[in-house]
Structure 1
Amino acid sequence: MQAVFLLLLVFVAAFAGLARRLKVPYPILLVVAGLLLSFLPSMPRIGLDPNLVFLVFLPPLLYSAAWTLSWREFQRNFVSIAMLAVGLVLFTVVGLAMAAGSLLPGFDWRSAVLLGAVVAATDAIAATSIARRVGLPQQVVDILEAESLVNDGTGLLALQFGLLMLVTGRTPSIIEGVGRLFFLTAGGVLVGLAIGAVVAWFERWVDDGPIEIVISILVPYAAYLLGDRVHVSGVIAVIACSMYMSRKSPEYMSPRVRLQTTAVWEALTFVLNGIVFVLIGLQLPYVIGQIGGMSRFVLLEYGVGFSLVTIAVRMGWVYGETYIAFLVRRWILKVPGERPEPRKLFVIGWGGMRGVLSLAAAVSLPYTLPDGRTFTQRSMIIYLAFCLILATLVLQGLTMPFLIRRLGLCDAENLNTEEQEARRVLLREALVHLDRNRSKDRDQSAMLGELIATYQRRLDAISTGPKEPAQGLIDRARRSDAILAVLQVEREALIRLRDEGQIDDEVLRTLQRELDLEESRVHTGSNVIS
């Protein structure tokens, strides 16, 4: 087992490095590499344990993905996210159930519903890993990431109902389904917020990097397991906890600890993501080995056809729901609104990538039914889920950059405008603080005057060209305490801008990291003139 784990780490490092050289999102290349490696005769068979995915990989990866979600954009796009995370999941289950029930041999309506439930949810791991690496417009990234996180909860609920219908033969009512969804979601949110509040309160009394890093790793597991223990959505609990703590982290986490924690989590999520995507590719022999009595050509037809139908179902919902909602608001409610932009809708529809969660859900299906009969459709469901993952990750992931360029959707302007305006506000706040201190402390007047001149040059440079490098300030600084005081003023202004909704969380994290690095240089004494 140890040798297999080390082998996976070697694969991850090697092929991720190759992906960087080829300028390809590393999840795609890792899946393809795992697929090719699975054909090697000496390659060990590595099965996918659903418990390993749900209990080991899923909590930290969900926590990491939710940490970068923008609360402001989540609120602004809430309707779109809800329609994708809830409405599209139900539409996918029904649409694929109808298609599978009529096209796939041996599938009755119960097993067809179960197939739709297995692949209904997009994968947060895949969406987060790929969306930010292909230059998607920020609004589209926000919607895809939030959808892929929230619909993990609704997708697992659909899977529960599918298993209930398969095992008992009873179809849950609409009231039961809505009530169950509300209970799981609301309960998960409450559990996540409760854990987040307790941990955030405790963190205020701790300022030790290793301790806080260990706590941050334990938190997603605690939220997931506690949510599961009280029979609510552990997925939603992790997401709510992560978003709450991300929102509060600028207030309780020191700059030094924040830099350390960020570095550890970047490495952790990279390793976990890499292992997950390699494992997906390595499942081919396991998947094919379970299906007998069908030629490879027939299996290929089923896999390609199912993937195309699933992509078409998502496209149909994204366009249909958006335009219907727009017409209802405009003609019936008489509410003015922006006309939907077909280019962005196409990218949202094309971005519905599946990942390891769908495969783990398929592998977790029972081998036998309560009456002792073999669940013969299980192997086909696993195979079709595997085909859909390959099609959406590889086909859609590789073509996404080309589509963005062809559709002209490079949309960094709005975020850059917010960032530049935030820089102006921070520099103005720093200048006011320094000028006030200079008038109070004549002994430090010369040094503070030098800092004021430096900040003024940086403020002037925002309108005329690139910002003066941060170390320029440190090189000219003579008093560390004066610099630290200015940095604290800038941080307070930055949090205020975030809380007032003037900047996005992404802008806050970018500028906050710059301030943390400046403070780190001060503490280490690098580039400081005494």
Structure 2
Amino acid sequence: MLDNFPFYLGIIIVILLLIMLANKIKVAYPVLLVLAGLAISFIPKVPIIQIEPDLIFFIFLPPLLYEAAWTVSWKEMWRWRRIITSFAFVVVFLSALSVALVANYIIPGFSLALGFLLGGIVSPPDAVSAGAILKFVKVPKTISSILQGESLLNDASSLIIFRFAMVAVATEQFIFYKAAISFSWMIFGGVAIGLLIGFLFMKAHKYLPTNANVDIVLSLLTPYIIYLAAEEVHSSGVLAVVSGGLLLANNRHRFLSSRSRIQGINVWESLCFILNGLVFMLIGLDLPQITAGLEGVSLIKAIGYGVLITFVLIISRIVSSYGAVIVTLIARNFITVADRRHPGYKTPFILGWTGMRGVVSLAAALSIPVYLNNGNGFPQRNLILFITFIVILLTLLIQGLTLPYFIRKINLTDIYDPIPRDEASTILRKDLAEYAIDYLKTNYNDKLETNTSLQQLIQKLEHHSKGIDDESIGTELKIIYLDLLDHQRQWLLNKNKEDKTLDESIIRKEMYYLDLEEEKVIHS
């Protein structure tokens, strides 16, 4: 390990340079990182990188899922819960089923159980890839909300399929009632464990004498403890982390100080930035290990199988996307749906095309044991690994590079947002300022005549200016201003609940500004 330490440092530097280059040329950085890792792996005397699946599942996956749960909007997830659930569970299952049938029919020696095993591995799209691409193009909030919500759940659904297929391959039998019980426990048990441990951590933050540094360390421990606890009792660690993360994220202003929230954002953004970079670089670096184990089938045939499975995944997701829309249009005649307007043919296509695969698929493939319990080698293990790599590479290249073009060419318009984001932000700031003025005049009217600083604050609010310029404010105004900030936060939280169409990211931006103001006043 220490002998290769300079190499690992060099890899991190390369990752940083490639991400900067990707931002410069407006290409999703996962594409460049996978290709760079692939190129580096062919350099003579480069250390062989062997990815341990536990490294992905227990080191990388929990914090990445947890951070995603903190950034996603619960309000938007609930609003689009039916379509998100359809994509995260139904579409993933249909993709796995399509792969299973094609692999069983086309690839020699592939049983239906092995087909489902491969399908469970390659069925979940990678959220990081889609997120990196969507940064460079303007997409409707509806699409980004659905993709964010799907990304929190599809890993769980695919890993559940993967586990059941593993049992079927190993035991050569599938008992339905046992599978149903296990499936229910994995879902409901995972959610319950996540909520319970998340609740305990929330109380620890609130009642223990913590500071910002302790709060951040606790937040770093939280996803690992939740994941390990859920996996220890054979429930879904992914769903546990997601549910616990959503609980804590939606109550962050009840138990974290403004300083903890501000510093926590910076720490988590930096951590996930480097974790995402490392996992995609590792995918490319692992190619020699994957190809070295490819036996019993020619390289050309193996590549052909990978191309075929990639094609099946792309088509099945697009068809499923249109199918989900059709089902929604029919269902709206019988139940209340998020919006009754027709999304057109463009939105389902874009949702279907955002199907890049990533590190969870590779980790799942690598976790396949070399030998079965009876001592025999696991059937088709190396071919499954190779096909998975081809699927990841091709979806990143084909869909990852063309998605921005399709989004710009199709010129999507958001039929669900009543007003543009900038206009909504301006209206919110104006309403917040009016509330603040009314609150000060109502509750501190007796101090307005004597406190000139308070008069100046009201004048600034009337002109929609932000904050207090003079940091050396008096004690009286400091107390008043901190009280005002608390009530403004509560007003924003209530506004977010009441206005179902308001983009929650606008609310969070204003909340972040209030945290900055509080820190400035406290330390003035």
TM-score of the two chains, using structure 2 as the length reference:
0.91
Bigger drift between 384-393 and 129-138 goes to: 129-138
Report the residue type matching 2:9 in the other structure: L
Distance in 1 of aligned mates of 2:178 and 2:424: 45
Summarize the alignment of residues 92-491 of structure 1 with structure 2, pairs less than 5 Å apart.
92-173=95-176, 175-205=177-207, 206-292=209-295, 294-327=297-330, 329-330=332-333, 337-409=340-412, 411=414, 414-442=420-448, 444-458=450-464, 468=465, 470=466, 473-475=468-470, 478-479=473-474, 481=478, 482-491=480-489
What's the CA shift for 1:334? 11
Mapped to 1, the partners of 2:335 and 2:358 lie a distance apart of: 39
1:475/1:405 CA distance change after superposition, 3 Å: farther
Choose which of 25, 36, 40 in structure 2 pairs with 1:37.
40
Q: 1:328 to 1:60 in 2, by over 3 A?
A: closer
C-alpha spacing 1:416/1:244, structure 2 compared with 1 (3 Å): farther
Tell me if 1:500 matches 2:506.
no
The percentage of counterpart residues that share the same residue type is 35
**Number of residue pairs the alignment of both structures matches:** 512
Q: Find the aligned partners of 2:88 and 2:442 in 1 and give their Cα distance.
A: 51
1:223-264 Cα deviation digits (max 9, x unpaired): 101111222111111001100100000222111121111111
Contact 1:304 1:387 in 2 (8 A): yes
- Classify 1:283/1:514 alpha carbon distance in 2 versus 1 (closer, same or farther; 3 Å): same
SS in 2 for 1:171: coil
Flag the 1:334–1:394 CA change in 2: closer, same or farther, 3 A.
closer
After TM superposition, the structure 1 stretch with the greater mean CA deviation from structure 2, 76-85 or 128-137, is: 128-137
User: Partners in 2 of 1:74 and 1:61 — Cα distance?
Assistant: 18
Corresponding residue of 2:521: 522
Conservation of the 8 A alpha-carbon contact between 1:71 and 1:243: yes
CA distance in 1, matches of 2:164, 2:125: 18
Q: State the match for 1:461 in structure 2.
A: none
SS in 1 for 2:92: helix
Q: Does structure 1 residue 512 correspond to structure 2 residue 511?
A: yes
Deviation larger for 81-90 or 316-325: 316-325
Is this contact kept in 2: 1:132–1:141, CA < 8 A?
no
User: 2:62 — aligned with what?
Assistant: 59
**1:446 offset after TM fit, Å?**
2.5
Other structure's SS at 2:378 match: coil
CA distance, structure 2, for counterparts of residue 346 and residue 45 of structure 1: 40
Shift of 1:369: 3.0
Amino acid at match of 2:429: R
CA distance in 2, matches of 1:444, 1:437: 15
Give a deviation string over 1:415-450, Cα, whole Å, max 9, x none. 444433322221111111222355211554422221
Judged with a 3 Å threshold, the aligned counterparts in structure 2 of structure 1 residues 430 and 328 are, in CA distance, closer, same or farther, namely closer
- Aligned partner letter, 2:492: L
The verdict on how the C-alpha distance between 1:356 and 1:41 changes in structure 2, with shifts beyond 3 A counting, is same
- Which is worse superposed, 516-525 or 87-96? 516-525
2:374 and 2:206 mapped to 1: Cα distance?
56
Take 1:47 and 1:125, find their aligned partners in 2: how far apart are those partners?
22
The Cα of 1:150 is off from its aligned counterpart by 0.8
Within the alignment, does 1:12 sit opposite 2:15 as a pair? yes
Aligned residue identity for 1:486? L
Q: Does 1:78 align with 2:81?
A: yes
Amino acid at match of 1:483: Y
The superposition leaves residues 69-107 of structure 1 with CA deviations (integer Å, 9 ceiling, x where unpaired) of 111111111111111111112212211111111112221
What do the CA deviations read for 1:455-508 (whole angstroms, capped 9, x no partner)? 1111xxxxxxxxx4x36x425984450433332222121112123344443222
User: Is contact 2:28–2:129 with CA below 8 Å preserved after alignment?
Assistant: no
Report the secondary structure of 1:65's partner residue.
helix
| Contact 2:127–2:151 (Cα < 8 Å) also in 1 | yes
In the alignment, the residues of structure 1 paired with residue 363 and residue 25 of structure 2 have an alpha-carbon distance, to the nearest angstrom, of 30
* SS of the residue 2:372 aligns to: coil
Contact 1:135/1:401 (CA < 8 Å) preserved in 2?
Answer: no
Could you tell me which residue of structure 2 aligns to residue 464 of structure 1?
Answer: none
Q: 1:10 corresponds to which letter in structure 2? A: I
Between the aligned partners of 1:139 and 1:477, the Cα distance in structure 2 is 44
Give distance in 2, aligned partners of 1:450 and 1:329. 53
**Cα distance, 1:122 vs. partner?**
2.2
- On the 8 A contact 2:291/2:386 being kept in 1, the answer is yes
Q: RMSD value over aligned CA atoms?
A: 2.4
User: Which amino acid letter does the alignment assign opposite residue 48 of structure 1?
Assistant: I
1:253-302: CA deviation from partner (whole Å, max 9, x where unpaired): 11112111111111111111111111011111111111135544433322
Taking the aligned partners of 1:398 and 1:444, their CA distance within structure 2 comes to 63
Per-residue deviation at 1:8?
Answer: 2.9
Q: Contact (CA 8 Å) 2:471, 2:520: kept in 1 or not?
A: no
SS in 2 for 1:15: helix
On the 8 A contact 1:134/1:400 being kept in 2, the answer is no
For the Cα contact (< 8 Å) 1:196–1:244, is it kept in 2?
yes
Report if aligned partners of 2:302, 2:383 keep a CA contact under 8 Å in 1: no
Which one-letter code corresponds to 1:112 in the other structure? Answer: G
3-state SS of 2:110 partner = coil
Structure 1 residues 323 and 358: CA distance shift in structure 2, 3 A:
same
Name the CA shift for 1:236/1:443 in 2 (closer, same or farther; >3 Å): same
- Tell me, yes or no, if the aligned pair for 2:15 and 2:277 is still in contact at 8 Å: yes
Amino acid at match of 2:521: V
Letter matched to residue 18 of structure 2: F
Could you tell which deviates more after superposition, 423-432 or 214-223?
A: 423-432
Deviation at 1:40, TM superposition (A): 1.1
TM-aligned CA distance change 1:134 to 1:378, over 3 Å = farther
Task: Check the 8 A contact 1:447/1:477 in 2, yes or no.
Answer: no
- Which residue is 1:462 aligned to? none
In structure 1, the gaps of 5 or more residues are 459-467, 526-530
- How far has the Cα of 1:217 moved from its partner? 0.2
C-alpha spacing 1:498/1:442, structure 2 compared with 1 (3 Å) = closer
Amino acid across the alignment from 2:108: P
